[in-house]
C-alpha cells in the first residue's frame, strides 16, 4: 500500500490504548495521526506508556482530527456510544470500538457495527465500515467452541477461566493492588459475566436451532496478562473426529494454533495467537484455550480487523513473539 492508513485513537492512556499504539508504530501500513486523551493532553505518549520511550515523540492531543481513515475507540464501557453521540465523525471514517457498547447489534447515528471476531465473521469484517471488537473472555471462550457450535455439538457447557490484573484496566481497586493479587486468586461474577450475551449471540449465529447453556465462572489471577479457559461438554465423538473438526474450521485462520501437547499462558502472552488443546476422557470433552487479553482479546484483534477492512494481509504488523522466558 503506497499511501499509509491514517489512524486516530481516542482513549490512548489505558492498557489497550498503549498496546494499540505499540502495534501501530511498528505496523508497515499505518501512520498515527493523533492519540486523544483529555487527562494527558500535551504530554508525550512515553510519559504515560514508558515502554514507548525512544520509539515516538508524539504527544497526546486534546482535539479530534478528522483527516483520518480509521478511528479506534479505546474508551470505557458506555463511553463509546456517548462519544459518538456527542462528536460528529465523518461517515467516510471507519470506526473500530474496543468497548462493549455495540457488540449486541446496537447502533448510533445510523452507524451499524459488525461483530469483529475474524474467525466467525471474516467476510463481513472485510466489507464493514464499523467494528465492535469482542471482549477478552468472550474471544477466548468462543475460539474454543466455534467448531463445535458449527457442528451442532453444543448443549450444556461448563467453563472456567482465569485472567490477569490488566483485564481490570488501569484504575486502582482493592483487587488490583499488588498486595491483594500476589499469591491470591478469586472467583468473581459467577455465572453472570457480561461477555455471556455476546458468546450466546455467536453460538446462535452458527447454529440458529441450537439451545446453548453456558455456565461460566471467571477467576482473577496473580499475574498481569493472559487468559486461560477450560470448557467442558459431553461429546460422543472420538477425539480424532473432534480434532478433525477443529483443523477444518481453523484451516484459513492464521492466529489459531491447535496443539496436541498441554498449552500454557507463556505461549500466547505478547502475541495475537490463540492456542487450543483438546482432551477427552469417556464422554467428557475438555477444550483449553489461551490468549493474551490485551492483544487477541483487545488491541491485537482490533488491528487484525483493521487489516481485513483495508484489504491487507491479516497478519500484517501482528507477527509478534511470545514473552516465553
> Which residues are catalytically annotated?
136
- Per the CB < 8 A criterion, the answer to whether 1 and 312 are in contact is yes
Query: How many CB atoms sit inside 10 A of residue 36's CB?
Result: 24
* 31 burial type by CB count under 10 A (0-12 exposed, 13-18 middle, 19+ buried): middle
Residue with cell 463509546: 80
CA distances, 304 to each of 40, 222, 229, 301, 317 (Å): 27, 29, 22, 5, 9
Closest Cα partner for 147 from 294, 285, 301, 297? 285
Q: How many CA atoms lie within 13 A of 48 on its CB side?
A: 25
291: Cβ–Cβ under 8 A, 6 or more apart, which residues?
136, 139, 140, 143, 226, 227, 268, 273, 274, 275, 297
The answer to whether residues 34 and 66 touch, using CB atoms and an 8 Å cutoff, is no
How buried is 59 (Cβ within 10 angstroms: 0-12 exposed, 13-18 middle, 19+ buried)?
Answer: middle
Amino acid at each position: 500500500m503506497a499511501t499509509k492508513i491514517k489512524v486516530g485513537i481516542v482513549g490512548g492512556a489505558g492498557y489497550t490504548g498503549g498496546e494499540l499504539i505499540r502495534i501501530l508504530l511498528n505496523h508497515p501500513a499505518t501512520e498515527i495521526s493523533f492519540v486523544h486523551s483529555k487527562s494527558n493532553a500535551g504530554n508525550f505518549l512515553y510519559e504515560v506508556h514508558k515502554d514507548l520511550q525512544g520509539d515516538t515523540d508524539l504527544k497526546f492531543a486534546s482535539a479530534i482530527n478528522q483527516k483520518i481513515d480509521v478511528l479506534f475507540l479505546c474508551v470505557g464501557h458506555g463511553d463509546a456510544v456517548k462519544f459518538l453521540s456527542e462528536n460528529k465523525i465523518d461517515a467516510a471514517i471507519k470506526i473500530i470500538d474496543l468497548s462493549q457498547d455495540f457488540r449486541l447489534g446496537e447502533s448510533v447515528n445510523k452507524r451499524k457495527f459488525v461483530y469483529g471476531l475474524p474467525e466467525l465473521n471474516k467476510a463481513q469484517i472485510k466489507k464493514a465500515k464499523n467494528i465492535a471488537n469482542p471482549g477478552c473472555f468472550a474471544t477466548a471462550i468462543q475460539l474454543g467452541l466455534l467448531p463445535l457450535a458449527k457442528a451442532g455439538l453444543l448443549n450444556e457447557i461448563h467453563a472456567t477461566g482465569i485472567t490477569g490484573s490488566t483485564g481490570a484496566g488501569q484504575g486502582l481497586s482493592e483487587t488490583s493492588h499488588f498486595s491483594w493479587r500476589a499469591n491470591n486468586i478469586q472467583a468473581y461474577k459467577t455465572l453472570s459475566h457480561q461477555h455471556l450475551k455476546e458468546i450466546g449471540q455467536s453460538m446462535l449465529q452458527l447454529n440458529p436451532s441450537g439451545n446453548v447453556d453456558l455456565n461460566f465462572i471467571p477467576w482473577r489471577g496473580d499475574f498481569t496478562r493472559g487468559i486461560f479457559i477450560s470448557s467442558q461438554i459431553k461429546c460422543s465423538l472420538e477425539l480424532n473426529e473432534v480434532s478433525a473438526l477443529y483443523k477444518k474450521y481453523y484451516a484459513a485462520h492464521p492466529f489459531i494454533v491447535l496443539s496436541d501437547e498441554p498449552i500454557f499462558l507463556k505461549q500466547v502472552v505478547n502475541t495475537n495467537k490463540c492456542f487450543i488443546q483438546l482432551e477427552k476422557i469417556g464422554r467428557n470433552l475438555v477444550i483449553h484455550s489461551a490468549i493474551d487479553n490485551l492483544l487477541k482479546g483487545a488491541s491485537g484483534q482490533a488491528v487484525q480487523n483493521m487489516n481485513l477492512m483495508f484489504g491487507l494481509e491479516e497478519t500484517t504488523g501482528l507477527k509478534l513473539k511470545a514473552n516465553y522466558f
